[in-house]
């Protein structure tokens, strides 16, 4: 008996943890996929098998396509901003200057805050009548902006909140990447007389790009799934102008009790995350090789 344990300990010892992990992953996947082929409102009657009905329904559902578009718009805008600002902040905080440690800590504050609390504060700041943002805009002669009540402004407004919260994460990752960069290429660039801009474009950026891609991937995955700030600030409004796929799936599943259709939308969401992850992983592999 002990012989068996000795021989297979590498399988036996982690088995309980492995079983838990597999159950935690496999059950939600399996049950969601199972439900996506059913219609069920949660009542006493069991889920009714409807085949591909939910899939075909989603393909013909303009609200679903609208939610995909809004997800892509929100993600592109917010992650784009976060990468640009995060890299900029990392370059800034990579320099030595008095008070750098304090500044770095302060910069990371938004990331630590609870998203729902952050959302409530921003909701007040967006208020067109008493919010501080309009006060600032108007104090420089700008118009009254309906930040979260204007269908054209609401996604950029939400992207600002997401950017405020998560730029520090990008900065942290890039900062770690900067610290790990080899010094020889920089010294060579210096010897060749390259200026700061040329050094950044020709040396820093190419060396950093795998790290930037990792940071972007983390943020992309998270941004696609963004829920709390949108739920609290706009609940998908005005109308459906900020209803992303995650929020639409939530509404279908938990507000309208269409568990089957909500599950199908979550399968789509998972696929979307999966595709983005594959694309970025390949991109990163190519950058590594290049």
Q: Which residues bind another protein (CB under 8 A)?
A: 25, 27-29, 31-32, 35, 41-44, 127-130, 144, 146-149, 151, 217, 221-222, 224-225, 227, 234-235, 237-240, 246, 249-251, 253-259, 262-263, 266, 269-270, 273-274, 277-278, 281-282, 284-285
* CA–CA gap between residue 35 and residue 38 (Å, rounded): 5
CB nearer another protein, residue 172 or residue 265: 265
Neighbouring residues of 158: CB distance < 8 A, sequence distance ≥ 6: 74, 78, 148, 229, 230, 233, 234, 242
Query: In angstroms, what is the minimal distance from the CB of 253 to another protein?
Result: 4
Name the β-bridge partners of 49: 38
* CA–CA gap between residue 4 and residue 201 (Å, rounded): 59
CB nearer another protein, residue 69 or residue 274: 274
CB nearer another protein, residue 46 or residue 98: 46
Q: How many CB atoms neighbour CB 69 within 10 A?
A: 13
Query: In angstroms, what is the minimal distance from the CB of 243 to another protein?
Result: 10
Q: How many CB atoms neighbour CB 284 within 10 A?
A: 18
CB nearer another protein, residue 208 or residue 249: 249
Query: In angstroms, what is the minimal distance from the CB of 220 to another protein?
Result: 9
Phi, psi for residue 59 in degrees, rounded to 5: -65, -30
Query: In angstroms, what is the minimal distance from the CB of 270 to another protein?
Result: 5
CB nearer another protein, residue 124 or residue 205: 124
Residue 8 is encoded by which pair of tokens?
A: 């297979």
Query: In angstroms, what is the minimal distance from the CB of 110 to another protein?
Result: 21
Q: Which residue has the tokens 């013909």?
A: 60
* CA–CA gap between residue 253 and residue 259 (Å, rounded): 5
In Å, how far are 51, 172, 205, 222 from 74, measured between CA atoms? 32, 22, 25, 12
CB nearer another protein, residue 103 or residue 120: 120
Query: In angstroms, what is the minimal distance from the CB of 132 to another protein?
Result: 15
Q: Name the burial class of residue 97, with classes exposed (0-12), middle (13-18) and buried (19+) by CB atoms within 10 angstroms of its CB.
A: exposed
CB nearer another protein, residue 82 or residue 246: 246
Query: In angstroms, what is the minimal distance from the CB of 109 to another protein?
Result: 24
């Amino acid at each position: 008996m002990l012989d068996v344990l000795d021989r297979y300990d590498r399988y036996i010892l982690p088995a309980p943890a492995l079983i838990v992990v597999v159950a935690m992953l496999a059950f939600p996947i399996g049950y969601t996929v199972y439900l996506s082929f059913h219609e069920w409102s949660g009542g006493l009657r069991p889920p009714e098998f409807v085949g591909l009905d939910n899939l075909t329904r989603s393909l013909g559902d303009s609200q679903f396509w609208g939610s995909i578009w809004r997800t892509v718009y929100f993600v592109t805008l917010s992650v784009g901003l976060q990468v640009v600002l995060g890299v900029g902040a990392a370059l800034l905080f990579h320099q030595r200057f008095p008070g750098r440690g304090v500044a770095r800590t302060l910069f990371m504050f938004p990331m630590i805050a609870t998203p729902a609390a952050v959302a409530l504060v921003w909701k007040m700041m967006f208020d067109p009548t008493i919010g501080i943002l309009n006060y600032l805009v108007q104090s420089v002669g700008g118009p009254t902006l309906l930040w979260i009540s204007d269908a054209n402004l609401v996604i950029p407004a939400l992207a600002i909140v997401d950017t405020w919260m998560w730029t520090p994460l990008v900065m942290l990752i890039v900062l770690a990447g900067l610290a790990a960069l080899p010094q020889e290429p920089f010294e060579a660039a210096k010897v060749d007389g390259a200026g700061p801009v040329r050094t950044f474009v020709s040396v820093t950026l190419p060396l950093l790009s795998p790290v930037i891609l990792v940071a972007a991937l983390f943020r992309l995955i998270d941004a696609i799934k963004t829920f709390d700030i949108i739920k609290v600030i706009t609940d998908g409004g005005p109308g459906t102008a900020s209803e992303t796929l995650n929020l639409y799936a939530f509404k279908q599943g938990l507000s309208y009790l269409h568990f089957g259709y909500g599950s199908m939308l979550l399968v789509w969401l998972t696929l979307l995350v999966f595709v983005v992850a594959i694309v970025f992983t390949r991109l990163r592999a190519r950058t590594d090789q290049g």
